[in-house]
Amino acid sequence: MILSCRDICKEFPENMVLSHVSFHLEDREKAALVGINGAGKTTLLRIIAGEISADAGEVVFAKGKTFGYLPQNAGLSSNNTIYDELLSVREDLISLERRLKELELAIAEGADEALMEQYSLLTHRFETDGGYLYKSTLTGVLKGLGFTEEEFSKPVSTLSGGQKTRVALGKLLLLSPDLIILDEPTNHLDMHSIVWLENYLLNYKGAVLVVSHDRYFLDKIAGSVIELEQSRATSFSGSYSDYAAKKEQLRAARLHAYMNQQKELRRQEEVIEKLRSFNREKSVKRAESREKQLNKVEILEKPAEVKSDMRLVLTPRLQSGNDVLTVEGLSKSFGSQILFENAAFSLKRGEHVAIIGDNGTGKTTLLKILNGLLPADSGTFRLGANVEIGYYDQEHHVLHPEKTLFEEISDEYPYLSNTEIRNVLAAFLFTGEEVFKQIKDLSGGEKGRVSLAKLMLGNANFLILDEPTNHLDIQSKEILEDALNSYEGTVLYVSHDRYFINRTASRILELSDSSFLNYLGNYDYYLEKKVLPSPTAPLPSRPEPESASKLDWQQQKEEQARLRKKENDLKKCEEAISDLEARQNGLAEEMNRPEIAADAVKLQEIAKEQAGISKELEKLYEEWEKLAE
């Protein structure tokens, strides 16, 4: 075992983030840490890395083991070039190499047995520690992370935030600690770099703990999953897909148990209320006894809402013609950089097409041209009959800064109820008082989610989406995927999310070497036909949940008949009690009448009947209590 987290607790004002979180990692284990946004994933990683302290519990590393941590946005302050910044990680080998050269010069001037022995020992150490490979390894890491050789000499201080994070990731990989801890490492990588990182981590000799919303990435590298939900941690063995299948089974089982307990609690409360209504000492005591037992019951926590409760249904107001988009000879350059030329393709009604390609190849530019935001250098495109575009970009021009989130939706769609608006916003991670935030106070990612929510409610029959899953957690991605899969219109989108593409695309257009290549299938099909730097296996199919053993048809019929008889018996018993209690009350009124009170014989008859009714009621009360069980 390399890492053990024991009863980790962390609370922020009015928010318990982590409650008695416990799990451990074995040497070389590759584990994914998952949970919705706000579940506490980054907080837990920072506690493990020692950046913040837990309120309770402890983090224990195995003796002598090292770890490295990459936060989401790793700020680097350095005057080094990219190459020299990574080279600084291997200062031990650089110093050793320098010493070996000094010894070589000394030996050349005159052989000395002590020098020869020292040289031999240091040479062995240099070789064992990878001294002859560290420069080629460094170059391989930089290229794998998407840096070209021309960029190696760039000063780190001139890089963007995403580029600095990639440099920090490269340094961490070269350090080769016993445990690598990564928080969203794929955020600033293109597809080729993500595939490279997957294979690097798969072959890594140490352990890995990673937080990521990239489900394809998690499915490829993780052999176990730790889920944070409602402040607690649950560990699952197997891949991400295995976890997702098991999770659905467990969620259904927990919801079933919760609903059954709630039903039983209501039934017991009804029994207690009924016993009290009998208004006799024995029944009241039984009611009190049942109430004490009920108070001792440990109430099950309601499972988190399943995504099916927040389904988005996208229905185009108007059906387009069969030909939705036709592109012919389209070209676009910026200066000497040719993005694409003579591009030609078409979209038919109902197609879901994903555009993929490396960063900077012109995917977003193409979408802007199709939406009239940029002119093409040459070529044409035309829309078919009755085509109505709904466009999602990452600049969010369609939002009003002074409006609240709620107003942004309600003003655009006044026919929606408050509950419907809240449900849509909740699907995109806005809950409670957050819906009353002003647009101008939102982060870029939050604005993206609001824009997407508005678009999903629109009546467009041709959706054009630029990186729609950015800033969404896994649950929200699944909601969007289900919505697009049931959408009857046409979809053209740019995305780096391979899992999303795999679930929603029926065709892929790859923008490579200034031209578009067509693949009739999803991302797995694309991988089969396209040779990437390292092949990626298709996602393992999710196992079908094992159905619980069920009674055969005859047994079910017999059980249903037994329950119906019991329900009828209970109903008859209640009616008999009601009739006898009414008769009992009637006899009491008769005894109070002056003419009866003066008739001793009549009083005796009534008292005898009352005694018989009381005896019969006693039997019925006991029978009712048994039937009520």
Domain span including residue 406: 313-529
Its pTM stands at 0.69
Within a domain: residue 476?
yes
Q: Give CA–CA dist 24/357, Å, rounded.
A: 38
Write down the mean pLDDT value for the chain: 85
The residues near 308 (Cβ < 8 Å, ≥ 6 apart) are none
Q: Kindly state whether residues 429 and 501 are assigned to the same domain.
A: yes
Q: Kindly state whether residues 232 and 362 are assigned to the same domain.
A: no
* Mean pLDDT confidence for 374-394: 90
Q: Kindly state whether residues 173 and 49 are assigned to the same domain.
A: yes
Q: Give CA–CA dist 26/237, Å, rounded.
A: 12
Residue type, position 262, single letter: Q
Within a domain: residue 431?
yes
The mean-pLDDT minimum among 171-180, 343-352, 613-622 falls in 613-622
Residue 561, helix vs strand vs coil: helix
Output the six-digit token pair for 400. Answer: 């009003």
The mean-pLDDT minimum among 213-227, 264-278, 386-400, 542-556 falls in 542-556
Backbone angles phi, psi at 464, to 5 degrees: -120, 115
The sign of the dihedral angle between the CA atoms of 159, 86, 173, 203 is positive
- Paired residues of 518 in beta bridges: 509
pLDDT at residue 122 tops 80: yes
- Of 220 and 585, the structure prediction assigns the larger pLDDT to 220
Q: Kindly state whether residues 513 and 575 are assigned to the same domain.
A: no
Q: What is the pLDDT of residues 92-108, one digit of tens each?
A: 888 888 888 888 888 88
Output the six-digit token pair for 354. Answer: 């994903």
Q: What is the pLDDT of residues 316-325, one digit of tens each?
A: 778 899 999 9
The domain boundary, picked from 246, 278, 296, lies at: 246
- Paired residues of 463 in beta bridges: 390, 491
- Of 229 and 621, the structure prediction assigns the larger pLDDT to 229
C-beta separation of 41 from 33 below 8 A: yes
Residue 229, helix vs strand vs coil: strand
Q: Give CA–CA dist 582/574, Å, rounded.
A: 12
pLDDT at residue 541 tops 50: no
Confidence label for 483 from pLDDT (cuts 50, 70 and 90)? confident
Q: Kindly state whether residues 15 and 131 are assigned to the same domain.
A: yes
- Of 52 and 285, the structure prediction assigns the larger pLDDT to 52
Q: Kindly state whether residues 504 and 571 are assigned to the same domain.
A: no
Per DSSP, the residues of 359-413 read TTSSHHHHHHHHTTSS--SEEEEEE-TT--EEEE-SS-TT--TTSBHHHHHHHH-
pLDDT at residue 309 tops 60: no
The domain boundary, picked from 225, 246, 267, lies at: 246
The mean-pLDDT minimum among 219-223, 411-415, 452-456 falls in 452-456
